[in-house]
Amino acid sequence: MKLAIVGTGAMGKVLRQYAEEEGTFDTIFFIEPTEENTWPSDKPDLLIDFSNPGAINSIYNFCRRQGGGFAVVLATTGYGPQEWEIIKLIQKICPLVQKNNFSRGVEVMNRLAEQGAQLLGDTADIRVLEAHHTKKRDAPSGTAKTLCSCLGIPEEEYPEKTAVLRMGTVPGEHTVYFAMEDEVLEITHRAFSKKIFAIGALAAGKELLGI
């Protein structure tokens, strides 16, 4: 089976190393979205994108050239309205999953945040704090935005309800605060390596493939 990884940065390299160790795919190749000569002529079974939002046009064009029919995992954040329209076009020809964070722990955190908002929303001030490495471009992070959505916070209130830190090489840290009178409940997730995102993205792709 063939795995195409869009993005040759740190996260793409972590994904490739994990995929080689995991063993499902016997052919693994990188695609640098800005370089046309890196897009293969043959069709992969699975494409995972860990690059940047601007790559979505090239991904769509590749899917269309290949006639679709392979699985697509989008693990990039920071999409705008135009990019989401292109993602909808990809979904018409390829099975696709997109998440702002493929960590299993974050998936559980989203559910806990939703439950917390349901139980405490009328009695608590709810805030989100997120921290990432200095090279992360989008702020707040896609994961923080997903948490806000789970908490029922409208998009226009994100700036006043979220706090953002960019420092060092932090892979990712998110905390939801429920501040009440004389007590505070915190839900925190810390990523200690990028591998957790590779594990989740590859598992999502295999699920799309039914393996």
Catalytic residue among 132, 145, 174, 189: 132
133 counts as catalytic: no
Please confirm, yes or no, whether 135 is among the known catalytic residues.
no
Tell me if 152 sits within 8 A of 178, measured CB to CB. Answer: no
Contact status, residue 51 vs residue 74, Cβ threshold 8 Å: no
Candidate list 2, 13, 136, 195, residue with the active-site label: 136
Give catalytic residues, as residue numbers. 132, 136
